[in-house]
Amino acid sequence: MKEWYSKHLGLNTDKYGTSFEWRQADDVTKKGFTAWSQFKEETKYMEPSKKNFMINYRVENLEWLVEELKKEGVTVLDEIEAFEYGKFVHILDPEKIKLNSGKLTI
């Protein structure tokens, strides 16, 4: 599918998908990114959610947020992972939709 989107719609994809860069309206010196990525139909990545999608949220203070969510009884699925492009953790909302919260490094 990534190859199809690359060929027919011009998306510059890699093994993860692609991202679209944009500027914040209140401060055009700050960049933001919207990620586009597809998963195979049989993927287990969304588990334990039964949904076939995941919502990603960008947050300022991930460590603080995770501690607050734990205090409020929110299901935190894993530990915060750090990558060169940011930190991420997965949680579940009340409808069991898997959410990926992250602090992106720009």
User: What pLDDT score was predicted for residue 31?
Assistant: 84
Burial of 7 from C-beta contacts in 10 A (0-12 / 13-18 / 19+): exposed
Mean pLDDT of 63-87: 91
Q: Please determine, for residue 57, whether its predicted confidence score (pLDDT) is greater than 70.
A: yes
* Percent of residues, the chain, with pLDDT higher than 70: 96
| Closest CA relative to residue 45, chosen from 53, 35, 34 | 53
Q: Please determine, for residue 106, whether its predicted confidence score (pLDDT) is greater than 60.
A: no
Q: Which domains does the chain have, with CATH numbers?
A: 1-38 (no CATH), 51-106 (3.10.180.10)
Cα atoms in the Cβ-side hemisphere of radius 13 Å centred on 72: 12
pLDDT band at 72 (very low <50, low <70, confident <90, very high): very high
**The dihedral sign for the CA sequence 77, 56, 7, 84:** negative
